[in-house]
Structure 1
Amino acid sequence: MPRLSDSHRAWIDEAVRKVEADSQRSADTHLHVVPLPAPGSATGGGVDLYLKDESVHPTGSLKHRLARSLFLYSLVNGWLHEGSTVVEASSGSTAVSEAYFARLIGLPFVAVMTTSTSREKVELIEWYDGRCHFVDTAGEVYDAARALAEETGGHYMDQFTYAERATDWRGNNNIAESIFGQLAQERHPVPSWIVVSAGTGGTAATIGRFLHYRRHPTKLLVADPEGSVFYDGWALGDATVTGPGSRIEGIGRPRFEPSFIPGVVDDMVQVPDAASIATMRWISERLGRPAGPSTGTNVWAALGVIGRMVAAGEEGGVVTLLCDSGERYRSTYYDDAWVSSLGIDLAPYAAALADYERTGVLVDPRA
């Protein structure tokens, strides 16, 4: 291996300083209490729902945390150097955040993504001076990203491999430590459940490891959209399963990603696309601003957990994530014609959520 030159070391040191300085300029994300209809009410019932708002990061999504960690991990490993082209396989939000950090340290960036990625995300990547390279299916992004990195002499970030190891799961202001710090003065300072969805699996790995490390009784539920293989792979104990992939942008995968760690997961549920989109719209109305579709997946699964807790007479807190803003999906998941073109019927789930508003009991239309 070539010796690490003084100039390369100096460049790495300065790049790390810039990324860390950016972190110091950023405040933590908010933890909102979501009022619920009785009997599971945050203003009188026994169960409280909290929404960790990751949309307020500088690049507008949960993936800002991941991108920062991936850049720091790559820098301290000496994988990036002055002039490196950074390449990533992404469904959009990670690429937006990585484009931000690449520009911050002065490196060119290329995102490999499917042609179905929302126009709004593409425009954000380009706004941060990134370039988009499109492929037809989610299964093609890995090889295409690897090939582009080789062609340019650059570095493939490979979020799907490194997400679970780039973040310090023991603390260091990770998302799990932040959640527990913000809950300290609540009536249920240790939540009963944390509910997340998985794209790389890195967030689930960080939270699950933190729960085990700190010996919290909190359980971790992972919500998986239809078409994704995480649920089947977890249930079957088979990491070789493959599938078509997810229609909920940013989560779910056509293969069992290396960063998905099944041993940290207490339970999983499959969420229909219609439920994700209908709940995205429902929670947006309650918040007074639009949330993205993966937030709908998370909230639908969280409401299911709350329903079970209420039925069992249990009290406690349930925490889930607002992953990104719905502004990125105005031309897709908020467009009725676009949703209809996918053959997705929101009506049964919209009706179930309307009934939930009146009764406080959520009935799954599949039941």
Structure 2
Amino acid sequence: MTSSGVAWTFLVLLGVVVLVGPWVLGTANRLDRLHVRTDAAWAALDAALARRAVVTRAVAVVCGTDELRAAADRAERAGRADRETAENELSALLDGLDRSVLAPALAAELADAEQRVVLARRVHNDAVRDTLALRQWRLVRWLRLAGTAPTPSYFEIAEPEHDVPTQRVSARVVLADRDGRVLLFEGFDPARPDELFWFTVGGGVEPGEELPAAAVREVFEETGLEVSADDLVGPVWKRRAVFSFDGLSYAAEEWFFVCRIETADVVDTSRFNALEQQTITRHRWWSVDELRATDDTVYPVQLAELLPEVLDGAPGGGAPGGAPSGGAPSGGAARNGWDGITRSVR
């Protein structure tokens, strides 16, 4: 080969390196990041599965189910090759579990653990999909850009067949006048229209919204009364519960504030949303004596017992107790249970 031919060959090779080199380096870096992402996703999934096993063992103790506890142990101890089978066996047992016998806090924790497994598995499999797609490129295979990293694999387990509750954070307000009467609404679950119950002002917290702001907004939307965050005391109670409303399941975290107003002005319900207009029948102001004497269903069920204490100026976050609430969508179907500030009540 002549010197000019050698020179042209060198220039062509140099051009190839200049053009392909950045792509090779970029692809190798991208593949490395995908492998790191896949490893992290597996670690998160493994942690979610481990938490589900721990919660399942607590459920098994309550239910007295040795089979469920043994399945949780097998799933936790299984190697990677046998993990899918063991986890699917555990999922099948959990799908057949009667959750009505569980305390609301434990039922909510189990539902949360299952939901985290579902989300973690999807994130993991998405990472595996992206990694495998890049590893299958011909140049990636020919140039061995994956190095010694093992080929990731999907993790396929069945998702829960039962209705996984929707997570819902709510701000609720014990709105009382200067005579100590509290405002309650009467409503019903559309799935059980004959079961009426009374409940406090409040509702769901919107994304990015602070609890006091949500409480103030709910008071205005449901009553037309304008209060500020400075008018609120609390939160005085915190509740966790699993309940159903209109055929849907919810895992609720509800925070209760107290708000005193000077007078029981006319309540303006014109800002009710469509669901509230459909399911709320009336409202009234209740005294403690009336709450103690009524045979109506009232949420919180211990409102008459706890109301005097919080109205006497218990500091925010320091008042004892907590009680189950109703209200759309936490109606008569709610299974009542609390994480109280200093004690738990029904």
Q: In which range does the TM-score fall when normalised by the shorter chain?
A: under 0.3
Q: TM-score, normalised by structure 1?
A: 0.22
What TM-score do you get using the length of structure 2 for normalisation? 0.23
Higher strand share: 2
